[in-house]
Structures are given as structure tokens and as C-alpha cells.
Structure 1
Amino acid sequence: MMLLNRHLEHNQPLVAADAAALGIAGAEEAERFLQARDNHSETPLHALPVLASELEIAALHVKDEGKRLGLGSFKALGGAYAVIQLVLEEAGKRLGRAVDIGEINDPEVRAIAAQMTFCCATDGNHGRSVAQGAGLVGARSVVFVHAGVSRERVATIASFGAEMVRVEGGYDHSVREAARVAAERGWTVVSDTSWPGYERIPGLVMQGYTVIVREALRRLPEPPSHVFLQAGVGGFAAAIAGYLAIVLGEQRPKVVVVEPARAACIYATAEAGRPVKIPHEQPTVMAMLECHEPSLVAWRVLSRIGDAFMTVDEEDAVAVMNRLARPSGNDPAIVSGESGGAGLAGLIRAAGDRGMRAALGLDAHSRVLIINSEGATDPGRYAELVGMAPERVPLQTA
């Protein structure tokens, strides 16, 4: 399904808080923090000319976040960045002066961090980032996971030092439980979704994601005409789209938000014209996108600069995983997890439909940017769906 944005706020400017969080200054700050981390390196941007030709577009580039900071996901940029920012802010309050990222290992800063506990709910990737960020600064982390999160993902998060709490129900249940327990115990919630009265920290998480598109724009021969962005609660899509809109202005690309048909809360919100919660029914293979209520901050951004909203089916996501692992011609192989290629699945679906092509202006001149948001964060599940272990995929380094 596809729905064009008919919302009254479509193409209106971002509100001031969102423009500040997702603008150039905020993105530069996020990148400065990232460069201070020991294992930072820019993730690759791959051109896929053979697939572009098949889709009858001019160019297709995939930014591969499966290699980000050893966590295998774009989420490595968000939660950890927010945790570090919050620790430095708290240290600044207690020490009575500004505290910079270069002081993160100073004993007096680490002593303050050791008194702080950060918690979150996660499908897997966000929890890794929060746990890693807490570990970097010497803080405590508690991560809430719902019934559908695999044991392998839970074990990986725990390996970063997080205390794990299993919650019955789905992702939205774990979000509410994390918020409830944190309020009782005085912990700081670092969530990638937002709700009334809780917006700044999700804004910091989103700010961390802007590094992805800053890197991509430096490498692309021309800015993209279209970007297909997968969404769970919508924070990732809003961060990428928001930065592009601020930097490129009227030349910004057309933004298409892609969700699993089984968990399409942004699509339902766009259809209703207001944030709505959808029922939890069948689980989706795109586990990192299995969210049933949008982030209010994300929707505020996407209602303005999301041009279309669409859904993809389970088999679409699995087909993309396989296509990227076994590319045609000289296109590079890419390891893409179950949720990582959802944006590409949306492009392939749209490119093959005459009506969607026309509605989106996809043609032989289109330059499309896709972000592979995760690698094989659950290697066993990847091997099951692709028929090949992720380490057997013949990767290129650039």
C-alpha cells in the first residue's frame, strides 16, 4: 500500500526545536562526539548500478550501517550519543562549569557517571547502544526487552554490561514498563520514541543519527532525488529526512517512509492525520520495526517532510536480504538484517508499480539513497532466511 502525504502541515517548515536538533550545528556536535570514540570509522556507501538499471533509475546508493561501531546497526549512533551528552550535562551541573567530550574519562566525571542509571526498552539494537554508551562513561544501564526479542539479542546486549529485564507483551509494553520503573527509582530513560512531556532525549537520539546522512552527502556524486527510509516509531526516518530538508532546502529529496504491513503505525497515523496506536497482531520478520505507536517528535517531522508512506510484506524483506547477499553483475554484496533492507524493499515495490512510479516521480533520472540500517544482528536468523551465514557473504570494504 502507498499513501501520499495530504496532511495540512506537509511541506511546512520544521518547528524550531526539531530544526535545532536535526540541523547542521546539532549534526556537527554529534559527529564531533563520534570522532572522539576509539572505534569510530565512517561506514561505506555502495553504488549498485546493476540493480539501478533493473529498476530503471539513474543511480542507487546504499549506506551500510551494518558496520557501525561494532554494534551492527545505525542505532549505535543514537542511544550512546544521548547517554554521553546527558552525563556531560550532569557533570557540568555538579562541577559548575561546561564539561566537554574530551573529559569523559576524567576521574571526577566518571565518579558522577557512576551514580547515574540509564534505562530503555528495545527490540535489540537501541538497547545495545544505550548499554555501550553507559559502559563507555562508567554508568549503569538497565534494558527492558519484550517477549519477542530473541535470546541471542538479549545475550548480546547483556555482554555490554546491561542488566536485562524481560517484559511480557510487545515493544510498546516494554516502553511503558521502562518508563514506570525509571520514574519509581529515579533512573534516566533514554528512549528512541517520545510521548507527551518526553521529547528532548529522543531528540538527542535522533540527533545522533544525522551523522549517517552527513557522511553519505560527502560521498554521493550528487544529492539524491529520492530516499526510502524504513520506520518503526519513526525516529530514524525523521532524523535523516529532517537533516536533508534543512541542508538541501527546496532541493531536498522526495521522502518515502516504509514500514512492515504488520506494524505500520506511521502509515496509520498518516492515514488518520493524527498519531494513532494500532493493534498488535501477527509479528513481523522485520523485528526491529515492529512498533505499534509512533514517536510524537518523529511524526511532527514526518508530517511536514514525509512525502509518501508505504508498506512492504514479509516476503519483500526476505527477498531483499537474499538479493543483497547474492547481487547481480558487479554490484557489491551487502549483509542486511531482517529490518535493514526494508527501505530497499519499498523502492523495489514502488519501482515495479506503474502507479507508484508516477506518483513518486521515479524515472530514468532518479537518484535514490537507501540506508541498510542493520547487518546480521541475529546471525542465526540471518542464516535461516538467507541460507548462508553472514560471514560467508563475500563483502567489499568500500
Structure 2
Amino acid sequence: MFLLNSHPHHNSPLDPVDAETLGEGGADTVERFLAHRANHAETPLHALPALARELSVGAVHVKDEGHRLGLGSFKALGGAYAVIRLVLEEAERRLGRAVDIAELHSPEAKAVAASMTFACATDGNHGRSVAQGAELVGAKAVIFVHGGVSEARVAAISRFGAEMVRVDGTYDDTVAEAARVAAENRWTIVSDTSWAGYERIPGLVMQGYTAMVREALRRLPEPPTHVFVQAGVGGVAAAVSGHLALTFGDRRPTFTVVDPVRAACIFETARAGHPVKIAHGEPTVMAMLECYDPSLVAWRVLKHVADVFMTVDEQDAIAAMNRLARPSGNDPAIVAGESGGAGLAGLVRAATTPAIRAAVGLDETSRVLLFNTEGATDPERYAELVGMTPAEVIGRRQAQGVTA
């Protein structure tokens, strides 16, 4: 499915609160916080010239978030950042003075953090980030997961000391249950989706994602003309498109939001022109994107700056994983999880479908930026779908002389 943005707010300025969250000042704060993370390192940007030739575009670059902060996903930038911000803000409230990130491990800040509990719902990656952030500051974390979250992903979260709670139902059911239990216990909910009356913390999570956009723009030889980014509740798509719009203004790239066809809550929201909760159906292989209720904050951004909405099916996503693992020519091999390559799946579908290609404006001069939003966060599932282990794919890349 394919849809051009016809919302009345399309191409109008972002709301002031979103412009402040996703603009240069917010991105500056994120990078300053990252500088204090012991395991922080910029993630690689890979050029894929052979793929670009196959798709008849000028260039394809992939920002590979499978290496971010030891968590294997871009989500490492959001949840942990929000936890740290909230601890420092609570320390300021209690101490009655400004508390900088440099004081994060001071006795005063540690005492505040030890008294706080952070909770969230997750399909896997966001919960891992919140749990890591809580461990980093010395706070408690309680993470809610639904039955479809694999044991491997649960184990990856619990290794940070988080308490795990299984919830019957879908991701959206876990969001509701986490919010209910957190309210009862006076815990702080750190969600990557938002609802009426709960917007600031999801905004902080989205702000964290701007770091990967900034890094990519610094490394690209020229600014992108087209960007394809996958969507679950819409947070990463909104963060990327919002920051790009604020950075480039009228010269911003054409932005395409890619949904799984089985969980297309952003696509259906765009079609309706307002937030739409869709019915739960057959699960999608793109597990990290299996969301049925859009984030209100994300939609508030996307209705202004997203240009195209489209869906991809299960085989599109699996083909993208395999295409990255077994590249053409001298393109580097990349480990992309089930959801990580969905943006590439959207690009391939758009570039090879004449009507979509023309509508999006892809041609031989187009410079496309993609984000591999996760590595093999479930290694067994990855090997099942790709026919190689993540280690074998990395070995292919190292044989090519690519070390990142």
C-alpha cells in the first residue's frame, strides 16, 4: 500500500514544542549526555554503491545502529537517555539547584536514583534501553512484555537487573498495564509511545534518537534527497523526519514512512487523517514494529513532515535482511534484524514499482539514507531467517576489510 501525505498540516511548521524537542538545541543536549557514557561510540555509516546501481539511484547509505551502546538497536539512544534526564531533574527538585550530567554518579544523585523505579512496556529493544539506563544510574526497572516477546529478548533485558512482567495480549495491552501498575506504585513510566496527557517523556525518548541523524549527516558526502524509515508507533520516524526538516527547511529530503502491512497503524492514521488504533491480526515477523496504536506525539510531527506512507509485507522484510547479509559487489555485509531492514524493504519496493518510484521522485541522481534500526537482537531467529549466524555475516564483512 502507498499513500501521499494529504493532511492539511503537511509542509507547515512543526508545533513549537516539537521543534524545541527535535531541533539543534535538543540534539546538542543528547550528544553532551552521550559523551558521558563509558561505552559510547559513533555507529558506522555504510555506502552501498552496488545496491544503488541495482535500484537505479545515485547512492544508498545505511546508518547501522546494530552497534549502539552494546544493545544492538537505536533504542539504546532513547530510553536510557530519558531515564538519565529524569533522574537529574528529580535531583534538581530535591536539592534545589541545577544538577549537571557530570554529577550523575555523585553521592547526591545516586541517592535520588536509588529511590526511583522506572517502568515501561516493550517488544524488546526499548525495554533493554530503559533497563540499561536504570542500572547505569542505580535505579530500579520493571519491564512489561507480551507473550510474543522471545525468551532471548527477555533474557537480554533481565541481564541489566530489571524485574520482568509477562502480560497477556499485544504490545498495546502491555502499554496499558505498565501505565496502570506504575500509577498504582508511583513509579515513573518511560514509554516510547504517547497518549493524551502523557507526552513529555516520549518526547525525550524521541530526542535521544536525533543523535544518529546528526552522526549520519556529518559522515554523508552530500545531504540525502530521500529517506526511508520504518515505523512502529512512529517515534523513530518522527524523530528522524522532524530533525531533518528543522535542519534543512525547504531543502529537506523526501521522507517515506514504512509500516509492516500486518501492523500498519501509522499508515492507517495517515489515511484517516487522525490517530487510528487498528485491530490486532496475524503477528508480523517485524516484531519490533508490531504496534497497533500510534504515538500521539509522533503523529503530531509526521503529519507535518512525512511525505509518503507505505507498507511492506513479510517477505519484503526477510528479503531485505538477506540482501544486507549477502550484498552485491563490494558492498559491506550488514547484520539487520527482522525490523532493522524494513526501511530498505520500502526502498526496494518503491524503486522497483514504477508508480511509486515516480510519485516519490526516485531517479538516477537520488541519494537515499536508510537506518538499520537493529542488529540480530534474537540471534536464533536471525539465523533461521537468513541461513547464517550473525557471527558468520560479521566474518564476511571482516573478510572484506570492513572492521566496523
TM-score by length of 2: 0.98
Q: Does 1:84 align with 2:84?
A: yes
SS at match of 1:68: helix
2:16 is matched by which residue type in structure 1?
Answer: A
Q: What residue is the counterpart of 1:173 in the other structure?
A: 173
User: How much is the aligned-residue C-alpha RMSD, in angstroms?
Assistant: 0.5
Aligned runs of 1:137-286 on 2, under 5 Å?
Answer: 137-286=137-286
Contact 1:30 1:211 (C-alpha < 8 Å) held by counterparts:
yes
Taking the aligned partners of 2:125 and 2:356, their CA distance within structure 1 comes to: 32
Q: Does 1:397 align with 2:403?
A: yes
1:183 is matched by which residue type in structure 2?
Answer: A
State the 1:392 CA deviation: 0.7
Q: What residue is the counterpart of 2:50 in the other structure?
A: 50
Which runs of no fewer than 5 residues in structure 2 stay unpaired? none
State the 1:397 CA deviation: 2.4
Taking the aligned partners of 2:385 and 2:282, their CA distance within structure 1 comes to: 18
1:392 is matched by which residue type in structure 2?
Answer: E
Which 4+ stretches in 1 moved above 4 angstroms? none
Taking the aligned partners of 2:172 and 2:285, their CA distance within structure 1 comes to: 17
Contact 1:44 1:397 (C-alpha < 8 Å) held by counterparts:
no
Q: What residue is the counterpart of 2:28 in the other structure?
A: 28
Taking the aligned partners of 1:15 and 1:120, their CA distance within structure 2 comes to: 26
Taking the aligned partners of 1:262 and 1:355, their CA distance within structure 2 comes to: 22
State the 1:170 CA deviation: 0.5
Q: Deviations over 1:167-209 (max 9, x none)?
A: 0000000000000000100000000000000000000000000
Q: What residue is the counterpart of 1:288 in the other structure?
A: 288
Q: Deviations over 1:8-35 (max 9, x none)?
A: 1100100000000000000010011011
Q: What residue is the counterpart of 1:74 in the other structure?
A: 74
Contact 1:63 1:370 (C-alpha < 8 Å) held by counterparts:
yes
2:381 is matched by which residue type in structure 1?
Answer: R
Q: How many residues align?
A: 398
Q: Deviations over 1:114-143 (max 9, x none)?
A: 000000000000000000000000000000
Q: What residue is the counterpart of 2:323 in the other structure?
A: 323
SS at match of 1:69: helix
Q: Does 1:7 align with 2:7?
A: yes
Taking the aligned partners of 2:338 and 2:57, their CA distance within structure 1 comes to: 25
Q: What residue is the counterpart of 2:371 in the other structure?
A: 371
1:397 is matched by which residue type in structure 2?
Answer: T
Which runs of no fewer than 5 residues in structure 1 stay unpaired? none
1:313 is matched by which residue type in structure 2?
Answer: D
Identity in percent: 72
SS at match of 2:369: strand
2:362 is matched by which residue type in structure 1?
Answer: L
State the 1:108 CA deviation: 1.2
Q: What residue is the counterpart of 2:133 in the other structure?
A: 133
TM-score by length of 1: 1.00
Aligned runs of 1:376-391 on 2, under 5 Å?
Answer: 376-391=376-391
Taking the aligned partners of 2:316 and 2:125, their CA distance within structure 1 comes to: 22
SS at match of 2:70: coil
